[in-house]
A and B are shown apart, each in its own frame.
Chain A
Amino acid sequence: DSGVTQTPKHLITATGQRVTLRCSPRSGDLSVYWYQQSLDQGLQFLIQYYNGEERAKGNILERFSAQQFPDLHSELNLSSLELGDSALYFCASSLGLAGLALDEQFFGPGTRLTVL
């Protein structure tokens, strides 16, 4: 058990809909990362938050957004969903000391999103 929790575990929805994925980082970790894993694209970095502020942005679509709250939990919002958004979405956390190269990340169990 990594100490990172994600809800829900599974999500089935229709095209055009909007969903919210939730992540609680390990106790003491300030950084939260979101990744998308699909068979064709592999594991892709989406976005990182550090202590409530956006720190790095990867291949995140404009239809997707995220935030980190004062209690450090994070949410990833996916809107106008398309079939191609079906994937495993992982949240990871780390100490994320500002200004340093990336440290060890602890991954949650993931949310499997299916868009029909």
Chain B
Amino acid sequence: SQQGEEDPQALSIQEGENATMNCSYKTSINNLQWYRQNSGRGLVHLILIRSNEREKHSGRLRVTLDTSKKSSSLLITASRAADTASYFCATDVYSGAGSYQLTFGKGTKLSVIP
């Protein structure tokens, strides 16, 4: 089963508006990562937030993490058409013998209309 679940599944906004995507997960984590994927292409790492951090910024991106609620949000401010992509949250899940695996949600498909 998926560790992370993004919400909403799809989001359509006008250029210049803000976009907010949420992610919920089930088990405790060391860190949570957000990735972007343009259609059919490789994923691009956006931001990593550690379990002891509550908020992190990178350019127009703002990520929050609430470990008590097991949830995270990604805010993209002043969106551009080029932000059109799918966005995934990923959490590290312990897979035994001191190792972890990255588990992805199904993603939020963002469409930014010019």
Contact = CB atoms under 8 A, between A and B. Distances in A.
Interface of A: 2, 4, 33, 42-43, 45, 48, 55-58, 88, 90, 92, 99, 101-110, 112
Contacts of A106: 45
B87 interface: no
A102 B88 contact: no
A58 B95 contact: yes
B106 interface: yes
A48 B42 contact: no
Given A90-B43, A104-B45, A109-B42, A42 B95 contact: no
Interface in B95-114: 95, 98-107
Interface in B50-95: 88, 92, 95
10 contacts: A4-B42, A42-B104, A43-B43, A45-B101, A57-B95, A88-B40, A101-B100, A102-B33, A107-B44, A108-B42
A107 B104 contact: no
Contacts of A104: 33, 45, 48
